[in-house]
Structure 1
């Protein structure tokens, strides 16, 4: 990407990295910690002078449970209790990848969105955090 053209970088975090959920985070602590790092990295990098003058915006999306392989077939070596993890995610509500993609496009199209993170709450529902 040519610096003069600008653009948008979208980093994908997770609600697990944005909010402490007593009942769920402990099940996949490495996942939750790495997603919290993505969120913090996006917000910090967005404030760097190099990024600000580059005309490149940084956006971070934090979807809740999404119908992916991670949810449907988690690695037991990385998830302390697969059944509890899947049950908790399903009770909270699971979105399709298409629903998440539609919201990602809204975040990209919002020209005021730079260095913000959005909690993706459901189809067409998000809030900046």
Structure 2
């Protein structure tokens, strides 16, 4: 992948979650939220790593809302907050995506060279929304 070994560079897309950017709907499962926040932080740090940049590798993260999957089908039942979780998933802003929707957006991120070191909220109805890193 890297240009040091004769490659052209590449793209790494990590999968986080909307829960990796906010705790407003994710407070029912703090371990999940913490790991998804970690993916976002890891992505942003790796994208700035000099060897990654020198080798023309871009690194970004997608942060979808709920995705229709086996995890989504079984997870709420495994918690004491099943009613609250299911109610929150009915909100329009948390519209559930199909795996193919996520895959299409990932392909767009790979093909569009502007995305690097960013966490993107994804949704079927809009282009990826880049959430900027906090400035200190």
Q: Same fold (TM over 0.5)?
A: yes
Residues 1:10 and 2:13 aligned together: yes
2:69 paired residue number:
68
**Counterpart position of 2:121:** 119
TM-score for both structures, normalised by structure 1: 0.87
The whole-number CA distance in structure 2 between the counterparts of 1:9 and 1:65 is 22
Q: Which runs of 5+ in 1 are unaligned?
A: none
Q: Which residue of the partner structure matches residue 19 of structure 1?
A: 22
Report the equivalent of 1:81. 81
Give the structure, 1 or 2, with the largest relative contact order (CA under 8 Å, sep 6 or more).
1
Corresponding residue of 2:35 = 34
**TM-score (ref. length: structure 2):** 0.83
Distance (whole Å) between structure 1 residues aligned to residue 47 and residue 103 of structure 2: 22
Q: Determine if contact 1:17/1:33 at 8 Å carries over to the other structure.
A: yes
User: How many residue pairs are counted as aligned between the two chains?
Assistant: 125
Q: Does structure 1 conserve the Cα–Cα contact (< 8 Å) formed by 2:65 and 2:122? A: yes
Q: Which runs of 4+ in 1 moved over 6 A?
A: none
Secondary structure, counterpart of 2:67 in structure 1: coil
CA contact (8 A) 1:103 1:123 kept: no
- The change in CA–CA distance for 1:80 and 1:28 in structure 2 (over 3 A counts) is farther
Counterpart-to-counterpart distance in 2, 1:49 and 1:105? 25
Q: Which consecutive residues of structure 2, in runs of 5 or more, have no partner in the other structure?
A: 132-136
Instruction: Report the Cα distance in structure 1 between the residues aligned to 2:12 and 2:80, rounded to whole angstroms.
Output: 32
How far the C-alpha of 1:86 sits from its partner, in A, is: 2.3
Shift of 1:87: 2.4
